[in-house]
Amino acid sequence: MGKHCRERLADGDHLGIEVGADAASAVSLDDIMILDDARTRALEFFAQLFHNHAAVRLVATLPPPPDAEAFVAETFRGTAFAEFVRAAEGVPRDAINIAALAAQHAQDQPLGLREVRLAARDWYLRDKHSAISADEAATTLLRLLVDEVVGRRRSRTFLLDRSPGPRHAVIADLYDARLLHVLRRGLADPHRPGTLYDGFAIDYGCYVALLLGKDAARRPHARGSWLTLPKGVPPDGFNLAHEAVDLEAL
């Protein structure tokens, strides 16, 4: 956003405002409501969100569940609600649309894992991927990232060096399109103190087809899961520079 608020003039001066110095940047719900391995905040938020929405509609026809916990128990099976929150990637609008599609798959039954995953795939194809389909640079880089991170590394999380590069503007476009999600910002490399890294997750919808298949060996595993923990501290011996994705080499 900052590049649209300030323009460099021919004499080297600037016209406009600088985000961070002249105006505060907005808080991103994506950074707060993404489900990780330790926090329950995202689960509680989305449970209350859907209970509030459903109660208003149900009260005209039948008594709604008394609270958010009861609503989740009646509408989701097993671990499907946690998977649903993970699929929403912290974005309430995406959560509402995924829930609507999942309900169509489940018909009059509680939502299970398969319905959530089918809905997440449908929403990714209908909304997120279609939004960048005309952008060749973005679609190409996304495909290369999925091939490298999900396909070769069997992961969903990855690191990027924050040093500017030709493809970093495309990364910003993929983030704006909700196809990449920031998990950690400004991770310092103890071996290269002047280098910082950001930790990302590829959108759930990009790899959910693997979860729907029967070949469990091809599914992404928990490599890099330390990025989703509250402290975000890499394990001993983890080499940030070695593990970071080299965008220009893809």
pTM of the full structure: 0.76
Residue range(s) defining the domain that contains residue 202 = 135-249
Same domain, 106 and 139: no
Q: How far is residue 227 from each of residues 51, 89, 155, measured CA to CA in Å?
A: 30, 15, 12
Please count the other Cβ atoms lying within 10 Å of the Cβ belonging to residue 136.
9
Is residue 123 domain-shared with residue 153, that is, in the same domain?
no
Residues 104 and 177 in one domain: no
Separation CA 146–CA 156 (nearest Å): 8
226 and 142 in a common domain: yes
> What sections of the chain are H helices per DSSP?
2-5, 29-33, 41-58, 68-75, 80-88, 92-106, 113-123, 129-131, 136-145, 168-176, 204-212, 240-243
**Tens digit of each residue's pLDDT (9 = 90 or more) over 77-116:** 999 999 999 899 888 999 999 999 999 999 989 999 999 9
199 CB neighbour count, 10 Å cutoff: 23
**Residue whose token pair is 């209908």:** 126
- pLDDT score for 8: 72
What is the C-alpha to C-alpha distance for residues 56 and 59, in angstroms, rounded to an integer? 6
**Helices 80-88, 113-123: inter-axial angle, 10-degree rounding:** 10
Q: How many domains does the chain have?
A: 2
DSSP assignments along 10-74, one per residue: TTS-EEE--BTTTBPPPPPHHHHH---SS--HHHHHHHHHHHHHHHHHHTTTSPPPSSHHHHHHH
pLDDT tens-digit map of 29-72: 555 555 554 467 889 999 999 999 888 878 778 788 899 999 99
Please, is 207 exposed, middle or buried when counting C-beta atoms within 10 Å of its C-beta (0-12, 13-18, 19+)? buried
pLDDT reported for residue 97: 94
Q: What is the pLDDT of residues 181-223, one digit of tens each?
A: 888 888 888 888 788 999 998 999 888 877 776 554 555 555 5
Establish if 17 belongs to a structural domain.
no
Query: Is 19 a domain residue?
Result: no
Burial of 167 (0-12, 13-18, 19+ CB in 10 A): middle
Q: Which run of H or E residues covers position 160?
A: strand 157-161
Q: Which residue has the higher pLDDT, 228 or 141?
A: 141
Shared-domain flag, residues 94 and 170: no
Q: Calculate mean pLDDT across residues 124-128.
A: 89
Which residue, of 66, 101, 130, is where some domain finishes? 130
Does the structure show a pLDDT above 60 at 28? Answer: no
Given 130, 157, 177, the domain boundary residue is: 130
Do both 104 and 193 map to the same domain?
Answer: no
Note whether residue 155 is domain-resident: yes
Confidence band, pLDDT 50/70/90 cuts, at residue 121: very high
The stretch 137-159 carries a mean pLDDT of 90
Q: Do the domain assignments include residue 12?
A: no
* The predicted structure's pLDDT at residue 130: 86
Higher pLDDT, 20 or 194: 194
d(CA 147, CA 140): 11
Q: Which two tokens stand for residue 164?
A: 């500017």
Residue 70 lies in a domain: yes
| 24 domain residue, yes or no | no
Q: d(Cα 202, Cα 182) in Å, to the nearest integer?
A: 9
Confidence at residue 27, expressed as pLDDT on a 0 to 100 scale = 54
Domain ends where: 98, 130, 162? Answer: 130
150 and 245, same domain (yes or no): yes
- What pLDDT is recorded for position 246? 92
Sign of torsion over alpha carbons 92, 102, 42, 150: negative
101 and 124 together in one domain: yes
**Same-domain pairing of 160 and 195:** yes
Domain check: are 142 and 243 in the same one?
Answer: yes
Mean pLDDT, residues 169-188:
89
245 and 144 in a common domain? yes
Same domain, residue pair 152 and 124: no
Residue of higher predicted confidence among 19 and 87 = 87
The answer to whether residue 54 is domain-embedded is yes
- Lowest-confidence segment of 1-15, 190-204, 229-243 by average pLDDT: 1-15
Q: Which residues pair with 182 in a beta bridge?
A: 200
Checking if the pLDDT of 147 tops 60, the result is yes
Residue 13: inside a domain:
no
Amino acid found at 135: D
Residue predicted with more confidence, 69 or 164 = 69
Q: Is the pLDDT of residue 241 over 70?
A: yes
**Residue 82: strand, helix, or coil:** helix
Residue 156: per-residue pLDDT: 86
